[in-house]
Structure 1
Amino acid sequence: MKRSIAIFTMSAMLLSSYMTMQAPASAAASTTTAISSSIAKGHIVGGVNLRNKPSLSSGKIIGFLKKGTNVAILDKSNKYYYKVKTSGGHTGYVSKSSKYIKLSSNSSQSKPGQGSEVSSSLTEKINLVIKTGKKYLGTPYEFGSDRSTTYTFDCSDFVKQAYKEALGIVLPADSRKQGDWIKEQGTAVYNIGSLKAGDLVFFMSYKGSSASAYAGVDKSSEKITHVAIYLGNGQLLHTYSNKSGGVRIDTLSKSWEHRFLFGGSVLK
């Protein structure tokens, strides 16, 4: 009988010890889950679309977040989008642009010291894009060119190839969607003097070579018909016809200046 009581007592002690050891592990797991499920808090400062994918071209709009909405940021999914969760439990992706969302004061978008590293590398990235684009000087123009080859380009295919090949950034397929994408990133500028090297530059249709041909035109209602890469110093790298020689460098003056709608940076 004494042996049975001893065995029972030992078993109870082991069970109690096991339960005591497991409880902290379970609590730690819960804490880890809570931390990983929300890496930061965000505040919507400008109405923004909620998408099902972190992409302007392929992500479908599944909702709209009004100014003043607070969200949990679940993942900094890519360079341009946050994965967020609303108080109502809806999950999706929103633009990282400061025009639409700001992180709470106790959250950080970058590690200490990272800002200076990004700034110093930005010029290198832009130079790589420009160098890649110049590699295709003289490549024939073809409207609706095959996006899977580099034998010919139209304007939007060319700028897309330059950024994809140089930095792995996949821009939308056509110039109008590229323009919408730039606006969504919050980098659009409407003054030629504000353009920076590497910016995408958007133009409306040709109406004539003189300024008078564009007098009274409401550019806000004009459609984008052309896109180029700005090289700085008033120069454009682009393609628009076989007659002009395919991919080439032009000066942002005369009719190009009159046709200018806006431009903006792909990189931040």
Structure 2
Amino acid sequence: MNPIQRLTIAGMTAFALLTPTVFAATAHHVVETNHGWVSYHSEAKLSSPVLGRLELGQEAPLIKKADAYWYEIDINGRDVYITTNSNYTHVANVTTLKPAATTAPAPQSIRTTTSTPAPSQDVIHVTAGNGTSAIINLSGDTVQQKALIKTALTQLGVRYWWGHQVPNYAPVNGRDGFDCSNFVAWTYKTSLGIHFSGSSVYQRFHVGTPVTIDKTDKTKYLQPGDLLFFANASEPNGQGHVGMYIGSGLIIQEGGGRGKVTVESLNNHRAWFGRSLVFARRVLK
């Protein structure tokens, strides 16, 4: 039954039928980021030019899913490509309700998410490089530190590939991989937009500021996100291998005798990672 409005005019009562507002609904899909920003490219391949970045809270109309690794999206009338990796992006269904009457209020949007964003839990369970269980606790970390660590963890198990920065969501000729220094450089670039050289020598001497390594408790002064450098027989000052501290006495690194991206403990001073840490540098302020 239509709603009725009761009007009183000059002592006379009148009744007027109010016709409900009729809405026209239109639905479309958009791509959004899960946290921070994500770069978009001119083509559906990682080696193509980066044209810009989709910011957190920004919506980009979805044109189509180009392939398993890339969405084709519309940015200001231009077709560009962004990763389909659910750690970084998700698709949302946006339904716009537009009143048919010209005097009605502005259009309203009703949103439903059609794919699950990246997990937001601050306690993460992983299997370390030696096969034991490891717990990463992010509850005391900053937003930047969390972004760094969660981004790095998406590449667990990616194989070592010297001189490359090829994440698992955009393989080149079917292959993905990093070397140790390109892995930490990629992590900073992808999660926070901080760019520096993928050379371990350059990182050891020029990236960030030095952090003291306590001789008895090597993690005492470390903070999540610090770059950690490890000595070997030919490079005792640590420029030969680098990883990133992720808190709780743990690091994430590529290679290091494992041949892939792994989480390792610094607490075992008899194991290579525990005894070989010689230098650290802090990138985050």
Of structures 1 and 2, the one with the larger relative CO (CA 8 A, separation 6+) is 1
- TM-score (ref. length: structure 2): 0.42
- TM-score (ref. length: structure 1): 0.45
Q: Which structure shows the higher helix fraction?
A: 1
